[in-house]
Amino acid sequence: MEPTFHSILHLLAWNGYEDEAYLGSQTCKEIWEDDRIYRKMDRPLGNRKSSLIGIHTYNTISSEFSLARIKRMVLLGANPDVSNLSNSFTPLMDLCLEGDHYKMDIFDYILSLDVRVDGVEGMNWCPLSLLATIGTGKRKMEKLLARGANINRLDANDRSVLYITCMMDGYSTPENIHFLCEHGADVHLRDKFGLRAIDVCLDYNYPSWTEALITHGAVLPEGAMDRALREKHKATVELLIRLGVCIDPGAILTAIDDDDDEKVRILIDVGVPIDGYDKPLLFRAVEGHISQNTVNIVRHLCSAGARVNEKWSVEAYSPMTLAYRMVEEPVLHGLVRQYIIRSNTHIIDIINILVDHGAAPPPSVEYDYIYPFSVKPLQFGDLIGVLFRGRHASASASASASASASTKATL
């Protein structure tokens, strides 16, 4: 072969150095015309093991010169539908990796040839699903459909184009869901595990996608709310409430019993009431072992307006008599006893929260007797400080209320 400049570029590409060859060819702005190199155009090249046509559709600088080269190769007998050996993408699929702004002229030319518009059979991706997930390829999708692409094409796991699109939230838009459904996508198709596109949206916490599917006839599965709460998908919970799905009245009780602070927060945020239960939720929260999650639950309840001075009959233990007795008291009183007995640092955190939200500390005579005989009260300086702060706040509030009442009476 005569060692001309253009044939060197051919040899670079032929031996896998296609990037270097492209840079050189773009610089000289010439179309490769060496038919002797084109005789094996379908040979896999480069890291992706693509044909020369595949290389020109995936990685090129100038769309104009790439199109001219591709047309030349097709004229010389190259196969425009050869899958690369890296991910089995055909040149048409490579052109669907980006939207309508990307090499539309090459896309139109390849689509006009005898190529597989549904991609490689059994493969997860196809041209339609690639475009649907990026959200900016409606013109290309319309052209694929006009060319006969199957909008309900299934992959090896029976996942439809719509199903795969719903797996890729963040890359597409709800408008693409509407586009697919308006062009015949079946919202009821199930994969080999029995899941539909709407199940994917619920599992991945994609409420806007779920709503779009429901607009086109998708039906919510049984237990959708329980699933959303179990996975702590707040946005989906809010959507289901707007759609009229009710939350189990006992959901917040279960969340408190499970010490699940995040679920308690979600339930409160979406409007689940914290009053009207057989036992005040604050008392329920501090029963049994107290952890950091318990601290968070009490904080959520207090922020939502829980009545911190509400009284409830509880069984109280006295180290002095070594016996239990029934007393009716606010939750703070029992926590004071618990802290003195157990010295659990989480308890003092809860006491701080309750005092900050207006809980009235008990008079000292009500808890002095429960100090163990071998322990001096001053060892509980942190507790004494919190209670002193609480009493000072209560006294200030009372004085302010009295002054306000006196002023009104004078007027």
Range scoring the smallest mean pLDDT among 2-11, 282-291, 335-344, 352-361:
2-11
Interacting residues of 395 by C-beta distance below 8 A, sequence separation 6+: none
**C-alpha–C-alpha distance, residues 165 and 132, integer Å:** 6
Asked if residue 225 has pLDDT above 90, the reply is yes
Structure token digits, residue 106: 């090459």
Return the H-helix or E-strand segment holding 326.
strand 323-330
Question: Of the spans 58-72, 80-94, 142-156, 387-401, which averages the highest pLDDT?
Answer: 142-156
Please say if the pLDDT value at position 397 is more than 80.
no
Reported as a pLDDT band with limits 50, 70 and 90, residue 24 is: low
Q: Which helix (H) or strand (E) holds 311?
A: strand 311-318
Q: Express each pLDDT in 257-315 by its tens digit.
A: 999 999 999 999 999 999 999 999 999 999 888 999 999 999 999 999 999 999 988 77
Check residue 70 and give its pLDDT.
Answer: 83
The answer to whether residues 270 and 238 touch, using CB atoms and an 8 Å cutoff, is: yes
Count of C-beta atoms within a 10 Å radius of residue 302: 20
pLDDT at 5 over 50: no
Contacts of 293 (CB under 8 A, 6+ apart): 259, 260, 261
Task: pLDDT band for 382, please (50, 70, 90 cuts).
Answer: confident
Q: Which of 114, 99, 187, 122 is nearest to 147 (CA)?
A: 114
Number of H helices, E strands in the chain: 21, 2
Pairwise pLDDT comparison (32 vs 325), residue with the higher score: 325
pLDDT at 27 over 80: no
Which helix (H) or strand (E) segment holds residue 71: the answer is helix 63-75
pLDDT at 372 over 70: no
From 354, 304, 357, select the one nearest 334 (Cα to Cα).
354
Q: Write the CB contacts of 163 (distance below 8 Å, at least 6 apart in sequence).
A: 189, 191, 195, 196, 197, 200
Find the range with the poorest average confidence among 96-105, 134-143, 259-268, 317-326. Answer: 317-326
Count CB neighbours of 258 within 10 A.
11
Q: How many CB atoms lie within 10 A of CB 379?
A: 12
| pLDDT averaged over every residue in the chain | 82
Domain limits of the chain?
Answer: 5-196, 278-410
The torsion region of residue 191 among left (phi > 0), alpha (psi -120 to 50) and beta comes to: beta
- Prediction pTM value: 0.76
209 vs 198: CA distance, rounded Å: 8
pLDDT over 80 (residue 74)? yes
- Over range 203-210, report the average pLDDT: 91
| pLDDT attached to residue 337 | 79
Does the pLDDT value for residue 49 go beyond 90? no
Rg (CA), the chain: 35
Q: Out of 3.40.50.1170, 1.25.40.20, 1.10.620.20, 3.30.420.40, select the CATH number for domain 5-196.
A: 1.25.40.20
Q: What is the pLDDT of residue 379?
A: 57
User: Which of 58-62, 126-130, 194-198, 214-218 shows the lowest per-residue confidence on average (mean pLDDT)?
Assistant: 58-62
Tokens 């184009």, located at residue: 161
Is residue 6's pLDDT more than 50? no
| pLDDT at position 4 | 42
